[in-house]
Amino acid sequence: MPLSAQQAVEIEQLLKKQIRLMLADYSPEFINMPFHTRLLGKDRMALFSFIKSINTALESSVFNQIAALIAKPHFRQAINHYKNFNNTISSDSRIIIQQILVNLKGGKYWSDKRKEIDMILSVAQKGELKTIKRPRIDLFLEANDGTEYYFDLKATKPSYENIVGFKRKMLEWVAIRGATNPNPNISTSLAITYNPYEPKPYARWAFQGMFDLPNEMKVADEFWNFLGGPQTYEDLLTVIEKVGIELRPELDKKFATFAPKSNLGAQL
């Protein structure tokens, strides 16, 4: 079993802590959605809001922590929300990145990540170095052979505009790293934490051309098994299901607070 007993326990504890914090602190924030509220009821809209908040918490702060826990035994370093990253980029790099994006958007060629990395690193220390907003790295891994992996974690299929933005981010990470190290062994990738179309394959067609799919994108089991080895994804689902069963009474109790109040007393 790729997930050790200790890893399973740590993941369980992390999930329980996060969910219980939300159960204790959550109060519905109603956005004015008059059609939905009148159609479905205020209680169901409150429940929808709560589930959406859980989903946001998982995507923004939990999945990357779980990923680092799984990867630690298999990599020299595994750090979530990696902050030890430079925030300077050369003016020549920015020109090259813009050229790459224009050509990809125009369909002049499909993405070749190795070629793009080489193009950027060849100018990463040329021109004026400019300070930019420090990027957020959801997950950083350093393999035993020195390869550096930088991941941006996403949970759903983005729009085309977002895909272009993600691609720019991947290219900028290479340029930023190259500004301090002219020859890093670097890999930057987009990680889709689960497949919303399962059991059908993930619809990758929107990324084709813009992303070098085999080398720049990992979906669901591809990502989790990369971190921990074969069957890691299935093991993780089992752990999460176990936590869900254990927390079900607490969740049901919270859900009950969203139920409509009885008018029986008022009628008597």
29 in a structural domain: yes
Count of the separate structural domains present in the chain: 2
69 in a structural domain: no
Residue ranges of E strands in the chain: 77-82, 88-90, 129-131, 137-142, 148-154, 186-192, 217-219
Give the range of the structural domain holding residue 265, as residue numbers without chain letter. 1-63+231-268
80 and 51 in a common domain: no
Q: How many helices (H) and strands (E) does the chain have?
A: 11, 7
User: How sure is the predictor about 262, in pLDDT bands with cuts at 50, 70 and 90?
Assistant: low
Q: What is the pLDDT of residues 67-111, one digit of tens each?
A: 999 999 999 999 999 988 889 999 999 999 999 999 999 999 999
143 and 105 in a common domain: yes
Q: What's the pTM? A: 0.89
CB count in 10 Å sphere of residue 235: 22
68 in a structural domain: no
CB of 185 closer than 8 Å to CB of 192: no
The stretches of 41-125 forming alpha helices (DSSP H) are 42-57, 63-71, 91-105, 113-121
172 and 187 in a common domain: yes
CB of 8 closer than 8 Å to CB of 231: no
118 and 36 in a common domain: no
97 and 4 in a common domain: no
113 in a structural domain: yes
174 and 135 in a common domain: yes
Q: What is the pLDDT of residue 265?
A: 44
Q: What is the pLDDT of residues 221-232, one digit of tens each?
A: 999 999 999 999
